[in-house]
Amino acid sequence: MSHQALKIVTIGGGSSYTPELIEGYIKRQAQLAIKEIWLVDIPEGEQKLNVVGAMAKRMVKAAGLDWEVHLTLDRRAALKDADFVSTQFRVGLLEARVKDERIPGSYGLLGQETNGAGGIFKALRTIPVILDIVKDMKELCPNAWLINFTNPSGIITEAIQHYGQWNKVIGLCNVPVMAMINEPALINKELKDLTYKFAGIDHFHWHRVWDNTGKEVTMDIINQIYADKNNGLPKNIFDISFFREQLEQMKMIPCGYHRYYYRQTEMLEHSLEEFKNNATRAQEVMRIEHELFTLYQDPHLDYKPKQLAERGGAHYSDAACEAIASIYADKKTHMVVSTLNKGAIPDLPSDHTVEVSAQIGATGAIPMTFGHFQPAERGWIQLMKNMELVITQAAVTGDYGTALQAFIINPLIPSGRHAKNLLDEMLVANKRYLPQFAEKITELEQQGVTVHDQVAAAIDNQIGVL
């Protein structure tokens, strides 16, 4: 980047993650010539924005920095001449996540915000908004980089690149970060002495690892994971072991989210247990968020509180800071990001988004080649990538048949009338955030489709209460 006075914008700035982001910038102050940080949010998030924004200002001040921290509801003012734009917003707030988790649960199906029916709906809500942001960026800051960590991160990045035709984007996820933090210790190594090769798509990738003598240590790590249960799973993933015989066959380490696909029965049982106990992750997060914002209101708190670690997205924001610093300072860092495939995985089209090991520098991400997968993994990844394409197409077109295809192809939703009823109910439940499906939703409402789960049905009235 040529600017010596960086303007960094965060959309969804009122998020509870913001302190980690600010901490990340402070930690990298020598690498980043920051002048302005803009935290943007929507009117419904104004209160949180003010709380977390005030804390951000305290953190910057405590670090002895003269960075300007701007809080605003005016996205276009924030985007004007920005150098980096990071996106961490949640369309529909946590209330929408409650629905993503509870409505499928009420059908006896997995309720989860990036997998199954919930993940599809999170994408349907988010894609129109991100494409609108991209449209603004083309006008207001055409040279900026977009660092997306709004979930489902890979699908959102796909939409940005394919439909938004915007390639200056890096999609982030904390899952690879956590693997690289936790695994080296399992085999008494340091990360710097290992070579990691990740390949797949967001929340559905595998990796292999080698030590600095060139010896592959993937199986050593796997063996230690079975021996040591402290396996670095994200907080939101129930801990159930992979079948060892499966890992021995594939000779790769799946990501935590693979549990939903490789141990479908157990993950579903666990999800339904949470549903029954009114303890879905969204409900849990609401409680944590409440605590966090209570903390953030303390006018003496000027550092990231340790309680944030419980929130589940640890390292996400730090990864965003690292990506920004790597681009700005041309650091040529190894990171695992969502970016155009370009051949890194020859089993997938070269002009769509994948999540792979890449070198991050001034030109953005240069993916490292991974080569062909074996049949089982190839089948999975081709299915999942195409499902992403169906979802993005549904999100952009608002076509009901395409949304139905997404439900049918999703491996976590058994197809049939049950699935179709679920689709219909979720469309109605998400009415406010799915303008592209407005006509179909009206038709469904006229047919009497309503939300049956009481918690989900009630939640729209509680927005702002939380």
Among 71, 172, 344, 455, binds its own copies (CB under 8 A): 344
Q: What are the CA-CA distances from residue 316 to residues 24, 85, 152, 177, 308 (Å)?
A: 10, 15, 13, 8, 12
Q: Are 279 and 285 in contact (CB under 8 A)?
A: no
User: Is 298 among the residues that bind its own copies (CB under 8 A)?
Assistant: no
Residues in the chain: 466
User: Is 261 among the residues that bind its own copies (CB under 8 A)?
Assistant: yes
Residues marked active site are found at: 257
Stretch that binds its own copies, among 28-36, 88-96, 299-307, 366-374 (CB under 8 A): 366-374
Annotated binding site for substrate: 97, 151
Interactions with its own copies, residue window 317-336 (CB under 8 A): 327, 329-330, 332, 334
**By rule CB under 8 A, what string of x and - marks binding of each residue 2-31 to its own copies?**
x-----------------------------
User: Is 446 among the residues that bind its own copies (CB under 8 A)?
Assistant: no
Stretch that binds its own copies, among 5-13, 98-106, 226-234, 395-403 (CB under 8 A): 395-403
User: Is 415 among the residues that bind its own copies (CB under 8 A)?
Assistant: yes
Within the chain, what is the greatest distance between any pair of CA atoms? 66
Residue 46 to residue 38: CA distance in whole angstroms:
14
Residues 6+ apart with CB under 8 A from 341: 348, 349, 350, 351, 352, 353, 354, 356, 367
Smallest gap, in angstroms, from Cβ of residue 411 to its own copies? Answer: 6
Q: Are 367 and 339 in contact (CB under 8 A)?
A: yes
Residue 82's H or E segment, with its range, is: none
User: Is 383 among the residues that bind its own copies (CB under 8 A)?
Assistant: yes
Stretch that binds its own copies, among 59-67, 125-133, 239-247, 446-454 (CB under 8 A): 239-247
Q: Are 292 and 305 in contact (CB under 8 A)?
A: yes
Annotated binding site: 97, 151, 173, 203
User: Is 212 among the residues that bind its own copies (CB under 8 A)?
Assistant: yes
Q: Which two tokens stand for residue 366?
A: 């240069």
When the beta carbons of 138 and 372 are compared against its own copies, the nearer one is 372
Whether the ω angle into residue 152 lies within 30 degrees of 0, i.e. cis, is: yes
Q: Are 113 and 119 in contact (CB under 8 A)?
A: yes
User: Is 139 among the residues that bind its own copies (CB under 8 A)?
Assistant: no
User: Is 428 among the residues that bind its own copies (CB under 8 A)?
Assistant: no
Q: Of 15, 11, 170, 164, whose CA–CA distance to 86 is shortest?
A: 11
Smallest gap, in angstroms, from Cβ of residue 329 to its own copies? Answer: 8
Among 420, 435, 450, 464, binds its own copies (CB under 8 A): 420
Stretch that binds its own copies, among 148-156, 231-239, 308-316, 415-423 (CB under 8 A): 415-423
Stretch that binds its own copies, among 281-289, 296-304, 314-322, 362-370 (CB under 8 A): 362-370
Q: Is the dihedral of CA 418, 150, 364, 203 positive or negative?
A: negative
User: Is 438 among the residues that bind its own copies (CB under 8 A)?
Assistant: no
3-state secondary structure of 60: helix
3-state secondary structure of 343: coil
User: Is 264 among the residues that bind its own copies (CB under 8 A)?
Assistant: yes
Count the alpha carbons within 13 Å of 235 in the hemisphere toward its beta carbon.
16
Among 30, 64, 245, 277, binds its own copies (CB under 8 A): 245
Annotated binding site for Mn(2+): 173, 203
Site of tokens 């700005």: 328
Q: Of 256, 260, 261, 89, whose CA–CA distance to 176 is shortest?
A: 256
Stretch that binds its own copies, among 123-131, 177-185, 282-290, 363-371 (CB under 8 A): 363-371
Among 138, 418, 438, 442, binds its own copies (CB under 8 A): 418
Among 55, 90, 385, 429, binds its own copies (CB under 8 A): 385
User: Is 287 among the residues that bind its own copies (CB under 8 A)?
Assistant: no
Amino acid sitting at position 386: N
**By rule CB under 8 A, what string of x and - marks binding of each residue 163-202 to its own copies?**
------------------------------x-x-x-----
State CA 72 to chain mean position distance. 23
Residue 271 to residue 265: CA distance in whole angstroms:
10
Interactions with its own copies, residue window 31-60 (CB under 8 A): none
Among 13, 104, 105, 367, binds its own copies (CB under 8 A): 367
30-40 residues labelled b (16+ CB within 10 A) or e (exposed): ebbebebbbbb
Helix pair angle (400-409, 417-429), 10° resolution: 130
User: Is 414 among the residues that bind its own copies (CB under 8 A)?
Assistant: yes
Smallest gap, in angstroms, from Cβ of residue 305 to its own copies? Answer: 36
Q: Of 149, 131, 252, whose CA–CA distance to 202 is shortest?
A: 149
When the beta carbons of 229 and 306 are compared against its own copies, the nearer one is 229
Smallest gap, in angstroms, from Cβ of residue 124 to its own copies? Answer: 15
User: Is 272 among the residues that bind its own copies (CB under 8 A)?
Assistant: no
